[in-house]
Amino acid sequence: MSWTASSLVHRWFQRWVDDGVFEELWALLLSECEALGAVDWRWQSADGLMNKSRFGGDKRGANPTDRAKPGTKKSLIVERSGGPLGVVIAGANVHDVKLLEATIKAIVVDRPDPDSHPQNLCLDKGYDGRTARAAAEAARYIPQIRRKGEEKLDTRGKKRYPARRWVVERTLAWLQKCRAILIRYDKKASNYLGLLQLACALLWYRRLHRLREAMARNLLSRLASPVVRQPVRRASSSNSRADDDKASRQDTRPQGGGDALRRADGVEAGDRLR
C-alpha cells in the first residue's frame, strides 16, 4: 500500500491519537487475553525509565542521569507476566513517586474487585515513602516496597522473597527496542504517548497470537490421537456365567505360573467381547 505523502500518514496518526484509537486497541487486546486466562492480577509491578528528547515540546525536563539534557520519563505498570496495563509520561526530572497515582489510573481496563481478588503492587526502594504507600493503598493495593537499607538476603545468605518486580524492567526493555520510543522525536507529548500505547498493544497482540496457536495445536493433537473405546460389559445369562466360572477354575490351576495368568486374562477378555 502506497501513500501519496508522508504528511498524510502523520495527519491520520494524530487523528487516531486524538480519538484514542491506540488506547482502545490496547484495551481490546488485553480483554481478549484476559478472557483466555492469560492476565494475572495478583502481582503487579511499576517502574519508570528516562529517555532522551531530541526536539522541543511539552513534558520534557532535565535528565539527572544525562548531564541535565532534555529528556522524557515514562512510568509503566504491568501484571505478573510483564503484560503492560497502563503508562504515563512526564519530564525526566519528575520523581517516580509523583507518577505512581497517575500510572495506576491509566490502566486501560477495569481491574478485578480487590476484595475478592487481592492485588499486590511491587515497587523498588525509590518508592519507599508515605506518598507511594498512600497512593497504592488508595487504589486498594497491598504495597510490596523494599525498605531503604533492607538487605536482599537473610542471615543465611538466601533470598527473603521470590523476585517479582523484574518483569516491569523487562517490559521497559522490550519497549526500548522501538527506535521511536528509545529516543523521543515527537514534539507533541500526545504523539509520543500514542506510540507507547501502540507498542503496548503490539505486545498483547503477540501474546494473544501465541495463545491461539497453542490452543490450535492442542485441539489438533486431540483430534489426531486415536479414540480408544472401552469394551461394554453385557449382562450374561446363567449358562454363560457357569461357563465363565468353569473356565476360570480350569485356568487358575497352578500350571505354568505367569502363562496361566495370561491365559486367564485372555479368556476373560474374550468373554467380554462376545
Domain boundary assignment for the chain: 8-219, 238-273
Burial class (CB in 10 A: 0-12, 13-18, 19+), 103: buried
Measured between alpha carbons, how far is 240 from 246 in angstroms, rounded to an integer? 10
Residue 259: Cβ within 10 Å count: 10
Measured between alpha carbons, how far is 137 from 132 in angstroms, rounded to an integer? 9
Check residue 148 and give its pLDDT: 79
2-22 pLDDT, tens digit each: 556 778 888 999 999 999 999
CA atoms within 13 A of residue 67's CA, in its CB half-sphere = 0
Measured between alpha carbons, how far is 229 from 207 in angstroms, rounded to an integer? 37
Of 108, 110, 99, residue with least CA distance to 136: 99
Whole-structure pTM value: 0.77
Measured between alpha carbons, how far is 264 from 255 in angstroms, rounded to an integer? 12
Question: Cα 125 from chain centroid?
Answer: 24
151-169 pLDDT, tens digit each: 666 667 676 677 889 999 9
DSSP 198-261: HHHHHHHHHHHHHHHHHHHHHHHHHHHSPPPPPPPPPPP-HHHHHHHHHHHHHHTSSSSTHHHH
Q: Are 77 and 104 in contact (CB under 8 A)?
A: yes
90-110 pLDDT, tens digit each: 999 999 999 999 999 999 999
Which residues, given as ranges, of the chain have pLDDT below 70? 1-4, 151-155, 157, 159-160, 227-274
Q: Are 61 and 93 in contact (CB under 8 A)?
A: yes
Of 79, 78, 86, residue with least CA distance to 105: 86
Q: Which residue type is seen at 6?
A: S
Q: Helix, strand, or coil here: 265?
A: helix
70-93 pLDDT, tens digit each: 999 999 999 999 999 999 999 999
Task: Name the class of domain 8-219.
Answer: alpha beta
Check residue 160 and give its pLDDT: 65
Check residue 51 and give its pLDDT: 93
